[in-house]
Amino acid sequence: MAAAFTEKDCYVQHFDPKEYLETYFSFHPEKEKGTALQVFGLKNFHKAFHSGGIKGDTLIDIGSGPTIYQFLSACESFREIIATEYTDENREELQRWLRKEPGAFDWSPVVKYLCELEGDREKWVQKEEKVRKAIKRVLKCDVTQPNPLAPLSLPPADCVLSARCLEAACKDLPTYRSALKNISTLVKPGGHLVLFVVLEATFYMVGQHRFSGLYLDQKCVEEAVKEAGFDIVWLEATKFNFPATLFDAKGACVLVARKH
């Protein structure tokens, strides 16, 4: 049975960024099962931005949450990264890492893994600094609005990235399709959309709080992306299982698409 939709106010009141990071981003590559989703995302972002040659001046990340893993490959390809997130608490947690504050989440195991993919595990400190330098702004966004960054109006970007955001922010498939059209307005013609989507999930837990997920299969995602004005360049999908009491996703996909 699908979980009741988690409204925005519930995220503001109950979503604990520290608990979320500890639950889903404590990184132990030797424990492949618990880290499979992260490894899949990191490898495919590396493929998109490093091997795939997606680059430009500006990248906008939609629904950054309190995380930085999605920027580790992108920071090599874009002069400016704009992070965006709905809740104040998540934006503040991200800023805490950017400012190197005591108590900020330790991303170094994730960064070291990505640097190893790039061929030099020892450059992880420089990589963290490159990410900090690349992120020029941390803005509020709401993907359900026609301009997700309202009241700001930014020039269209070379690339929009969104990782594991829309399936949590959208209550049904029409809302999901609409959200993709909303964020497509932030991409310049010929620019790229990079999506990391959790598949066949209805909920995930953060501490004692249950948050809804929109059940999506790969076909639904592909159709919505095309309907939003993009041609899919490539898509990589995987299956996996989390502990059923924590997160009921059955898989994930990363896709790269080009705007008409």
**Which one, of 35, 41, 83, lies nearest residue 58 by Cα?**
83
Q: Please tell me whether 131 is known to bind a ligand.
A: no
**DSSP letter string, 245-258:** TTB---EEEEEEEE
Find the helix or strand (DSSP H, E) in which 190 lies: strand 187-199
Integer Cα distance of 228 and 198 in angstroms: 19
Integer Cα distance of 17 and 23 in angstroms: 10
Question: Looking at 36-145, which runs of residues are DSSP E strands?
Answer: 56-61, 78-85, 135-140
Q: Please tell me whether 86 is known to bind a ligand.
A: no
Q: Please tell me whether 88 is known to bind a ligand.
A: no
Cβ–Cβ < 8 Å for 199, 224 = no
Q: Please tell me whether 24 is known to bind a ligand.
A: no
Q: Please tell me whether 143 is known to bind a ligand.
A: yes
Q: Please tell me whether 64 is known to bind a ligand.
A: yes
The two tokens of residue 113 are 């893994």
Q: Please tell me whether 20 is known to bind a ligand.
A: yes
CA 229 from chain center: how many Å? 20
At residue 215's C-alpha, the angle toward residues 74 and 1, to 5°, is 145
Integer Cα distance of 240 and 103 in angstroms: 31
**Peptide bond preceding 148: is omega within 30 degrees of 0, i.e. cis?**
no
Binding region for S-adenosyl-L-methionine: 20, 63-64, 69, 90, 142-143
Binding region: 20, 63-64, 69, 90, 142-143
